A and B are shown apart, each in its own frame.
Chain A
Amino acid sequence: MKCRELADFLMDYVSGELPQESRAHFEFHLTKCKNCHEYLVQYEVTIRAGKVACDEMSDEIGNIPEELVKAVMAARTKV
């Protein structure tokens, strides 16, 4: 397996959907190729980072613009 194929199989690998045989080739490549190992780690970090950054309870919880509050309340009285 070449680095290029390993990159193609990453998603199936991290979701556990890579068939047994490909998985063995994938993991064998990882033992020899530090660069691909690093790429796999960063791919996984990226997925997790996205989840944490957008977590509902996280800090982005911006405030709602005053004009949107007004628009929502105005629309409500029309219902």
Chain B
Amino acid sequence: MASATPVDDEATLVAQLRAGDEAAFEQVVRAYGGRLLAVARRIVGTEEDARDVVQDAFMNAFKSLDRFEGNAKLSTWLHRIVVNAALMRLRTRKRKPEQSIESMLPSFLDDGHHEERFQSWDEPVDKLMERAENRALVRQQIDALPEGYRTVLVLRDIEGLDTEETAKVLGLSVNATKIRLHRARQALRTLLAPHFRSAAS
């Protein structure tokens, strides 16, 4: 693994990139590549596709440096390019057979009550998420969601696309997108519950 070298002076770096400085390109790849790989992995779900996406994204970025506006942040600009490249990959690759999410959704008794008694999660969310191990756990559980649900959750709740945009890039109806998002959140809650409830802490 290459270490992620922080970038102190973005303006100088961008100038070097525009001048075609090879070392500057490598510095950008090392500084931002790991983060961009994580973003791609979350959307496309497999390491192999994620690596292809990152490679495509860097190529696109390097070719369109003249379109980079100096007042934007390089990291933000690259992030957007990677998200677009990942979405392109989702659209073009063959769909995997849909995994079921039913077992991760709440079940109800005949009278309409929840079957489960939900044990409270002791700590407030900001406290929970202060710990690196919990942040890693949440990322792991997002990855464990069935693909067709994970992508909707990632695009809506993490990448911040709106419902219409998400529906469009995934080729779903707006209604189906909403249903998927709701189920994905409920499934993620189910996956997190054994780790976050107070008895376990």
List A residues at the B interface (Cβ < 8 Å): 2-5, 7-8, 10-11, 35-36, 38-39, 41-54, 56, 58-66, 68-69, 71-73, 75-76, 79
Main SS of chain A's interface residues?
A: helix
Q: A68-B55, A73-B26 are in contact. List 4 more A-B contacts (CB 8 A).
A: A35-B114, A53-B137, A64-B37, A76-B62
Instruction: Flag whether B2 is at the interface (Cβ < 8 A).
Output: yes
Distance between Cα atoms of A38 and B196 in the complex (Å): 13
* Residue of A8, A44, A76, A79 ringed by the most chain B CB atoms within 10 A: A76
What residues of chain A lie closer than 8 Å to B26, measured between beta carbons? 69, 73
Structural contact, A53 and B55, CB atoms closer than 8 A: no
Residues of A within 8 A of B176 (CB): none
CA distance A44 to B75 in the complex (A): 29
Looking across the interface, which residue of chain A has its beta carbon closest to that of B123? A45
Interfacial chain B residues near A52, Cβ < 8 Å: 125-126, 129, 135, 138
Given A38-B118, A63-B3; A53-B25 close (CB under 8 Å): no
Task: State the CA gap A4–B108 with chains docked (Å).
Answer: 7
Pull 6 A–B residue pairs with CB atoms less than 8 Å apart, ordered by A.
A8-B182, A42-B121, A42-B196, A47-B157, A47-B185, A71-B55
Residues of B within 8 A of A45 (CB): 121, 125, 128, 189, 196
B90 at the interface (CB under 8 A from A): no
Q: Is the interface of B mostly helix, strand, loop or mixed?
A: helix
With beta carbons under 8 angstroms apart, the residue of B35, B137, B185 that contacts A11 is: B185
Residue count of chain B within 8 Å CB distance of chain A: 62
- In the bound assembly, the distance between CA atoms of A68 and B22 in angstroms comes to 16
Within 8 A of A (CB), among B43-91: 51, 54-55, 58-59, 62-63, 75, 79
Asked whether B95 is an interface residue with its Cβ less than 8 Å from the other chain, the reply is no
* Contact present for A53 and B37 (CB under 8 Å): no
Contact B188 A46 (CB under 8 A): yes
Decide: A69 and B185 in contact? CB cutoff 8 A.
no
Q: Is the CB of B139 within 8 A of A53?
A: yes
Query: A11–B192 contact, CB under 8 A?
Result: no
- A71 to B26, alpha carbons, bound, how many Å? 11
A64 with B135: CB separation less than 8 A = no
B55 to chain A, nearest CB (A): 5
B199 contacts which chain A residues (CB < 8 A)?
none
Query: In the complex, what distance in Å separates the CA atom of A17 from the CA atom of B153?
Result: 18
B105 (CB) vs chain A CBs: closest residue: A7
CA distance A62 to B132 in the complex (A): 13
B34:A5 contact, CB within 8 angstroms = no
Q: Give the complex CA separation of A45 and B118 in angstroms.
A: 14
